[in-house]
Structure 1
Amino acid sequence: MEALYSRTHYWLVEHPTISQFEWKHGQNLGSSLLFPALSAFIYLSLILLAFRFSLLLPTLSSTTLRRITAVHSLILCLLSLIMVVGCSLAVLHQMPDWKWVFCFPANRTLPRGPLFFWANLFYLSKILELIDTLLIILSSSRSRRLTFLHVYHHATVPVICYLGISSVDSMSHVAVIGNASVHVIMYAYYFLCAMGKRPRWKRIVTNCQIFQFIFYFLCAVANIYHHLTTENGCSGFGHLCFNMIFNTSLLLLFLDFHSKNYANNVSKEREKKSLDRQK
């Protein structure tokens, strides 16, 4: 077990590519604001064009679409798992004390080292996740499945992640570990569905998504406390405030989605049980 941990720690934390990583504006892949902004613009434009000229879309058989979805979901599930483990080990490796977990010293923290390697990979993975929308558009049920929550979330998250790295947000690792953990469960669910084995825990996926926002807000309270009680404050505090507003909007949308999709199901189950008792 110790040998496994040492090997994992080397490949996910101590490897030169990871340990010596440094995020430099305009030099790394996607390290310019133009990259996420252009990605969001192209993403939204393609969605509009897809619905405006739906007859021009390629026709894929349900079997082919399921296979593509399965491969895509499996890749993102495994990638998310690696990011959770890698970023968690990076935090343990880099933190000088527990205060640092919630508050990077302002003006003294640079976006370098293992933690920001995983934050950068997390940011780039959000571009890969845009394929989710393509798969929905190519399916026959696109009008039913493509919601405002889905499009809003996918279009804005890459920009949010970019701003988090560029501002050296003290909560970057919280976002990576929290969101990637949820995506391990979510993409595992999508993978099983694509393989024809629909699990019965779809509701758990939505509950975990809601819980991650609550967890982020709790950590943000600790960040705000340290920012107000520390001489120089915490790094990236401005982005934290902006991100809290964004996460609040997502939380409200997820709660609305939860109530519309699961409250009705609960009431239907109660009515069914009531009818069964009357019989």
Structure 2
Amino acid sequence: MNLLNETELRLPLAEYGFERRFDERGAIEWMQANWSKSFVFSALYAALVFGGQHFMKPRPKLNLRRPLVLWSLSLALFSIIGAIRTGCYMFHILSSSGFRQSICDQSFYNGPVSKFWAYAFVLSKAPELGDTAFVVLRKQKLLFLHWYHHITVLLYSWYSYKDMVAGGGWFMTMNYGVHALMYSYYAARAAGLRVPRPFAVLITSAQISQMAMGLTVSGLVYRWMQHGDCPSRIDNITWAALMYLSYLLLFSNFFYQTYLRRRADGKTAKAE
């Protein structure tokens, strides 16, 4: 197990009491015994999503503005705090031990500050499935990217946490950061605030960058695993690479269809 020692893990960042008291050993043991329940959550999610669409078809859409504001705001605050705490931890590892260590070291799963937020991250992927309830009940267009992303992130997060695989610190910190932007945007829109269009472009660009970096980290884990100091498994790296590649293609297509193609079509219509 590739871990930094306690001296190296002494961060210039105060721990909160709940972070210090968090039992990461118990959390990892629970996930090792129960990670397969993510398949049950995913199956129930799919059944409720598509069953819900069928149920709502002859019924009027619901407004749900206030619940959506509260939902998005709570996830935004959670993601912002998670991004700050894990970001500070990753910055410390990068500045003190270097880029390779930040990818290969497993201390993110049991280190000061980060151990709580690593577990909170993987658990949060189950309640985040609730995002889709608002799409279904408000009768909005449900994109393949939306439900595919929710299911695969849940499955991969629970599958990987139990083994404390290399690269997890990067994966989780990037996701916290992107979700901090995304859910803040959703909360503002749900509250009726006018958000400049460039902010939406920024979020999708950040998502594409996240997927590209996820692919890069997966490749580096595979390369350095051969040297024996980057603990992971071929099956995990394979799933991670396929997942991030599919996300990269889907988000890039969404970016093109939403921001580039519509803009080009608008200019054509004006010219005509």
Query: The TM-score by the shorter chain falls in which range?
Result: 0.7 to 0.9
Alignment correspondent of 1:256 = 253
TM-score, normalised via structure 2 length = 0.82
Q: CA deviation at 1:225?
A: 3.4
* Aligned partners of 1:23 and 1:31 also within 8 Å: no
Alignment correspondent of 1:47 = 49
**Is the aligned partner of 1:88 residue 2:92?**
no
Q: Could you tell me the percent identity over the aligned residues?
A: 25
Give distance in 2, aligned partners of 1:241 and 1:183.
24
**Is the aligned partner of 1:270 residue 2:267?**
yes
Give distance in 1, aligned partners of 2:207 and 2:108.
30
Alignment correspondent of 2:111 = 113
Give distance in 1, aligned partners of 2:258 and 2:210.
19
Alignment correspondent of 2:136 = 137
Alignment correspondent of 2:97 = 97
Q: Please list the CA deviations of residues 119-165 of structure 1 after superposition, one character each: whole Å capped at 9, or x if unmatched.
A: 211111111211110011110x32x2x11111111112111001111
- Name the SS for the 1:22 alignment partner: helix
Alignment correspondent of 2:21 = 17
Alignment correspondent of 1:173 = 169
Matched AA of 2:102: V
Q: CA deviation at 1:224?
A: 3.2
- Name the SS for the 1:198 alignment partner: coil
Give distance in 2, aligned partners of 1:269 and 1:125.
39
Give distance in 2, aligned partners of 1:197 and 1:46.
30
Give distance in 2, aligned partners of 1:15 and 1:25.
15
Alignment correspondent of 2:210 = 212
* Aligned partners of 2:68 and 2:190 also within 8 Å: yes
Question: Are the structure 2 counterparts of residues 88 and 22 from structure 1 closer, same or farther at C-alpha, using a change threshold of 3 Å?
Answer: farther
Quote the RMSD (CA, aligned, Å): 2.9
Question: Are the structure 2 counterparts of residues 26 and 225 from structure 1 closer, same or farther at C-alpha, using a change threshold of 3 Å?
Answer: closer
Give distance in 2, aligned partners of 1:190 and 1:103.
34
Give distance in 1, aligned partners of 2:255 and 2:28.
39
Q: CA deviation at 1:223?
A: 2.7
- Name the SS for the 2:30 alignment partner: coil
Give distance in 1, aligned partners of 2:116 and 2:92.
13
1:203 counterpart (201, 204, 207): 201
- Name the SS for the 1:259 alignment partner: helix
Question: Are the structure 2 counterparts of residues 110 and 130 from structure 1 closer, same or farther at C-alpha, using a change threshold of 3 Å?
Answer: closer
Alignment correspondent of 2:238 = 241
Alignment correspondent of 2:5 = none
- Name the SS for the 1:129 alignment partner: helix
- Name the SS for the 2:251 alignment partner: helix
Equivalenced residue count is: 256
**Is the aligned partner of 1:164 residue 2:160?**
yes
- Name the SS for the 1:74 alignment partner: helix
Give distance in 2, aligned partners of 1:100 and 1:80.
24
* Aligned partners of 2:178 and 2:206 also within 8 Å: yes
Q: Which runs of 5+ in 2 are unaligned?
A: 1-10
